Amino acid sequence: MSAPTAQLTQLIHHPYTPPAEFLAPQPGVFKASTVIFPSVAAMRAREWKDKSAYTYGLHGTPTTFTLEERICSLEGALHCVLVPSGLAAIANVALALLGSGDSMLLPDNVYGPNKALAAGELARWGISTQVYNPMDPTDLARKITDRTRLVWLEAAGSVTLEFPDLLTLVRLCRSRGVVCALDNTWGAGLAFNPFDLLPGAGEALGVDVSVHALTKYPSGGGDVLMGSVTTRDPALHRKIQRTHMHLGLGVAANDAELVLRSLPSMALRYHAHDAATRALVQWATQQPEFVQVLHPALADSPGHAHWQALCSAAAGLFSVVVDARYSTAQVDAFCDALRLFQLGYSWGGPMSLVVPYDLAGMRTGGLGSLACGTLVRFSIGLEAVADLQADVAQALLQLEA
């Protein structure tokens, strides 16, 4: 039997024109590695870097360009690149802005894998890293040197929920001429404006670069890993975009589609997570087993005044420090006894999650105003608050067992 060559070819070269009059509100999902050029001249002339044209799937499709524009709207940015995870966004920034002999500053409560990248690849490539106390701007001021090229900021820290004096830290970086990059996963573009921290105040103050784990609230489903790097500065964007291209950091169209579908409900979800979290936080402060409850809206949580000055909302995270008279094994048993809260990393999805942390091992500069004891971080999903509260209450009985 001869091979059906005609059909093979026809099925590949089947005529297709995107429907011009198909005005659905949802953006189309365009999947491609190859993009066809009408001529060699067009192939040579086409420029994707300003998004005026398409050249190759890795360099952008209508789907990813649309998502980039929406992330810019969310954060008040002008330029965006999408990467396969929040951690890839952090790495993209470091690799774009740092070279051998340069130095970087990280807050002591920074997202852990950022420290691991610094101690691993960055150190091997001759880039040094210092850690500063995010709750003490004078510590950052002391540690910026003429080799410092990048200062990371995080508000709030995602395990201890300490909220730094972001305005002072950003002003400090400005006055010393150092690029500052914010991990904006917690604020998500909803708690405050990273590129316009004082809207309407007459002082243009914002971070230079924002990275965002879209894995969290923009996805909202616990089923997508993605990150973004946004900026208002075209020169910074060009550097980030060049490194993004050299590293081949693309995202899949189906993942971009899921985030595009979730974005319209993101603000509603964020505020629902926020309200449920604050209700549980109030209840947690009354439990004698918890010696400290960490959430920036609590008056005695580290950095509360800074959060209050900047933010209109908070993410769905809070932590408790369990009284040091309970052993690690007892705190583990408490976490194991939770039935609705599942043991797992990440946050921003519909299911509530819990993780115990050994805080002492995570900090180089001491605990500051954090209490001694095992820390347990809760990520509040979208379940009924009363059910979540009852779950923690029944698990607390394990502490006494």
Binding site for ligand PLP (CB under 6 A): 85-87, 111, 158, 183, 185, 213, 215-216, 225, 227, 346
User: Could you give the CA distance from residue 186 to residue 315 in angstroms, rounded to a whole number?
Assistant: 6
Whichever of 263 and 395 has its CB closer to ligand PLP, that residue is 263
Please, what is the minimum distance in Å from the beta carbon of residue 114 to ligand PLP? 7
User: To 5 degrees, how large is the angle CA 386–CA 392–CA 394?
Assistant: 100
Closer to ligand PLP by Cβ: residue 66 or 346: 346
Backbone φ and ψ for 130, nearest 5 degrees, come out as: -115, 155
Nearest to ligand PLP of 229, 340 (CB atom): 229
CB of 82 to ligand PLP, least distance (A): 12
Compute the least distance from the CB of residue 365 to ligand PLP, in Å: 19
Closest contact distance (angstroms) between CB of 233 and ligand PLP is: 21
Closest to ligand PLP by CB, 54 vs 193, is: 193
Q: Which residue is nearest to ligand PLP (CB)?
A: 86
For the CB of residue 230, give the shortest distance to ligand PLP in the complex, in Å: 14
Which C-beta is closer to ligand PLP: that of 109 or that of 231? 109
Q: Work out how close the CB of 328 gets to ligand PLP at its nearest, in angstroms, rounded to a whole number.
A: 24
Q: Which residues pair with 152 in a beta bridge?
A: 181
207 versus 399: smaller Cβ distance to ligand PLP: 207
